[in-house]
Amino acid sequence: MNNLAFASIKDVRALLDQKKISADELLDFYLARFARYDNDLGSALEIFDKKSIQEQARQGGLLQGIPGLIKDNICMQGRRLGCASKVLETYKAPYNATAIERLMDAGSLLIGRANMDEFAMGSSTETSAYQMTRNPWNRDCVPGGSSGGAIAAVAAGLIPFALGSETGGSVRQPASLCGIVGSKPTYGLVSRFGLVAYSSSMDQIGVATRTVYDNALVLSAMAGNDPRDGTSVTGKKFDFTKDLNGKIPAGLKIGVIDNAVYAEGINPDVAQALDDAIKQLEKLGATIQHIKLPTMEYSAATYFVVSRAEAASNLARFDGIRYGARSKQAQTLDEVYAMSRTEGFGDEVKLRILLGNYVLSVGHADQYYNNAKKVQQMMRAEFLAAFEGVDLLFAPVAAAGAFPFNAFQDNAVHMDLQDYFTCAANLVGIPAVSVPCGFTKNNLPIGFQLLGPDLSEGLIFQVLHAYEQQTPWHTQHPEAFKENA
Amino acid sequence: MTQNKPCIERDEVKKLAHISQLAPTEAEIGEAATVLDARLSYITILQDLVADKSQQQPDQVVAHNVMRDDVVKVTDADSILALAPQSEAHYFVVPVIIKQNS
């Protein structure tokens, strides 16, 4: 049954269409996988009962009968929604996110809630208030974050796809550390209606899958205008699978961001894998140009300020009045606010709120927040100028493979720098997709990412699909989760 | 060698906690000051870049406000109130406010 555990959505669809397996058997299969492996892996906060999953099934198309796992910050009507935080311990979503509506309309069966860093604040899924999620390739290591539960489940063959969310790299970084495909769409391509806000100028729902085709397929099902999200793109229908023919367009130019790919601190195994990937893209017919994007070196600091500022504002709504946990000790209104938030939020969330209010406060806003917004504009200008000379950009996702639990316990800045290579795409608003491209000597996955101008997802997927067809990485899966293990 | 002045002091953390509606302990304030100082020290690099490039500011990004039709929709008050920590007769219950200030 390994073939089914790690089968692509495309292959599973074929099995369903040929009636070699029924949707019911398929659902049983994945539920059994979770029951068998997830006590140890810790990817899901909740797996729904079979009956309730089936009751919500709709007749659709693109994803008919295909199960998916949803990050715990995306609303599914009537289901718990917690953002892996105690502050939302009692909350049930009163409506579906638009992305969820579209997946359900496409026929997908949504089977549970994935673990995550609390309110998506972290790069290791260690800030979840509930449980740790392990990396399927080495269970002493983190899966990355913040969408670590969603990504680990896909990498371990427990589910064919999962939804995560991206603010600074929260799908691509864990996807890279777990050896799967992770996408961050153009800002506005997927509606954020029903996605709990962290940093609204950057938040986007992203997709985790084991193949490029699958990622393009799931994104196609969700993409398009939504009047309930003011940042939504105007296009209604997208099909990102149509050009996935194993070839790249003639004359394609890829800009290798030298100051990222050859940055100080890149692990030698990662450097080698990136070099090999560049050569493979060249072999496929791409013209490689080496370029420098100096503002990228400031992206982590910029992201740091903008995301904390917006988080402080967005999380002000969790006050113990309308929903969420209320402190039982509180007597006065001020105590309800302060004690509910103090008891409900974890340490990392509290630190980000404090820092966000600091960079927004009178006397500091010019020095920090306003400067960060200026740098963000410079970055967008620099990236758009680069796309006048090249079609896509090539960059690392992470400087090294997955790291052990508590590795950065005493070095918070080091943990923050996990976003170093990914957050530029979020700040600039452009799409970026990461794919696996090798392993470290310790058998930990390595990935690279391609970035493109606004709404270039189709081209990015086309090139990465061609790369994938010529490389073995997407066919390799963690031994511990194979059925005979 | 002189030690650099920290970016943030304990008293500022206390004030921030107050405006953030958080109630950390004295020990937590000390820990937060240390962690926040490390993080703020890192982001000071932005000032240098902005100062260097002050003569070449890019154009402002023009944002267009998106409006939608103002349509009245029926809201299911019960399902919203069901999420409240405390509610009574279609109202959210909060501690008595006037008494608190008297």
Per residue in A396-410, pLDDT tens? 999 999 999 999 887
Distance (Å) of CA A59 to CA A63, A104, A117: 10, 8, 33
pLDDT at residue B56, rounded to an integer: 55
In a domain? residue A363: no
pLDDT digits (tens, 9 = 90+) for A135-178: 999 999 999 999 999 999 999 999 999 999 999 999 999 999 99
Q: Are A174 and A145 in contact (CB under 8 A)?
A: yes
Put simply, the answer to whether A322 touches B46 (Cβ < 8 Å) is no
Contact call for residues A302 and A310 (beta carbons, < 8 A) = no
The sign of the CA dihedral A254, A304, A447, A62 is negative
For residue A300, is it within any domain?
no
Selected residue with higher pLDDT from A427 and B79: A427
Interval A464-470 mean pLDDT: 98
pLDDT confidence bin for B65, thresholds 50/70/90: confident
Closest alpha carbon to A324 in A352, A353, A344: A344
The alpha carbon of residue A461 and the mean position of all alpha carbons in its chain are separated, in whole angstroms, by 16
Q: List CB contacts of A49: < 8 A, sequence separation 6 or more.
A: none
Q: Which residues contact A91 (CB under 8 A, 6 or more apart)?
A: A80, A81, A82, A323, A324, B83
Q: Containing domain of residue A58, as a range?
A: 2-294+379-481
Q: For residues B21-43, give the mean pLDDT.
A: 92
Q: Which residues of chain A lie closer than 8 angstroms to B86, CB-CB? A: 326
Report the pLDDT value the prediction gives residue B62, as an integer from 0 to 100: 59
Closest CB from A325, A351, A380 relative to B35 = A351
Residue B99 carries which side chain, given as an amino acid letter?
K
Residue A260 lies in a domain: yes
Task: Identify the pLDDT of residue B1.
Answer: 43
Q: SS3 for A249?
A: coil
Q: Is the CB of A355 less than 8 angstroms away from the CB of B80?
A: no
Establish if A424 belongs to a structural domain.
Answer: yes
pLDDT of residue A368: 93
**Can you say whether residue A229 is alpha, beta or left, with left for phi > 0 and alpha for psi between -120 and 50 degrees?**
beta
Side-chain-side CA neighbours of residue A306 (13 Å): 27
Residues A358-362: what's their mean pLDDT? 94
Average pLDDT across chain A, whole number: 96
CA distance A84 to A92: 13
Beta strands B91-92; B87-88: pairing state: antiparallel
Share of chain B above pLDDT 90, in %: 37
Q: Tens digit of pLDDT for each residue in A13-24?
A: 999 999 999 999
The minimal CB distance from B79 to the residues A94, A305, A412 is found for A94
Q: Which of A149, A100, A146 is nearest to A123 (CA)?
A: A146
Can you give the C-alpha Rg of chain A in angstroms? 21
The predicted model gives A237-242 an average pLDDT of: 96
Q: Is residue A304 part of a domain?
A: no
Return the closest-CA partner of residue A465 out of A169, A178, A240, A151: A240
Q: Which residue from B42, B60, B76 is facing A413, i.e. has the nearest CB?
A: B42
The length of chain B is 102
- The more confident residue out of A421 and B63 is A421
Please compute the mean of the pLDDT values over residues B21-47 and round it to a whole number.
91
Is A365 within the bounds of a domain?
Answer: no
Distance CA A61, CA A64 (A): 5
Are A141 and A98 within 8 A, CB to CB?
Answer: no
Grade residue B100 by pLDDT with cuts at 50, 70 and 90: low
Instruction: Using only the alpha carbons of chain B, give its radius of gyration.
Output: 24
**DSSP letter for each residue of B32-69:** HHHHHHHHHHHHTHHHHHHHHTGGGPPPPPPP------
**In which band, very low, low, confident or very high, does the pLDDT at A34 lie, cut at 50, 70 and 90?**
very high
Cβ <8 Å between B38 and A412: yes
Q: CA angle, corner A394, sides to A389 and A396, nearest 5? A: 150
Mutate which: B8, B9, B47, B49, vs A, most A CBs within 10 A: B49
Q: Domain for residue A310, yes or no?
A: no
Rounded CA-CA distance B21/A4 in Å is 50
Asked if B83 and A91 come within 8 Å (Cβ–Cβ), the reply is yes
Q: Are A375 and B86 a contacting pair at CB < 8 A?
A: no
Q: A61 falls in which pLDDT band (50, 70, 90)?
A: confident
- Of the partner residues A325, A341, A377, the one whose CB lies closest to the CB of residue B61: A377
pLDDT at B59: 52
pLDDT reading at A448 higher than 80: yes
Tokens, residue B81: 């109130």
- Predicted local distance difference test score (pLDDT) of residue B63: 66
- Top pLDDT among B15 and A411 is at B15
Quote the percentage of chain A above a pLDDT of 90.
94
Residue B2 is predicted with a pLDDT of: 47
Domain holding A50: CATH number? 3.90.1300.10
CB contact under 8 A, B42 and A304: yes
Given pLDDT bands bounded at 50, 70 and 90, which one contains residue B45? confident
**Residue from B11, B21, B93 to probe the interface with A (highest A Cβ count within 10 Å):** B21
Residue pair A306/A199 in contact (Cβ under 8 Å)? The answer is yes
pLDDT value for A322: 92
Residue carrying the six token digits 């302990």: B25
**What six digits make up the tokens of A285?**
């017919």
Work out the average pLDDT over A117-139. Answer: 97
Helix (H) or strand (E) holding A409: none
**Catalytic residue annotation of A:** 71, 146, 170
Nearest to A90 by CA among A330, A344, A316: A344
Inter-residue contact A69 to A38 (CB < 8 Å)? no
Token pair for A187 = 């800002």
**Mean pLDDT of the A309-315 span:** 98
CB contacts, 8 Å: B94 with chain A: 321, 333, 336
- Tell me how many domains chain A contains: 1
For CA atoms A67, A71, A75, A76, give the dihedral sign: positive
State the pLDDT at residue B61: 55
Note whether residue A338 is domain-resident.
no
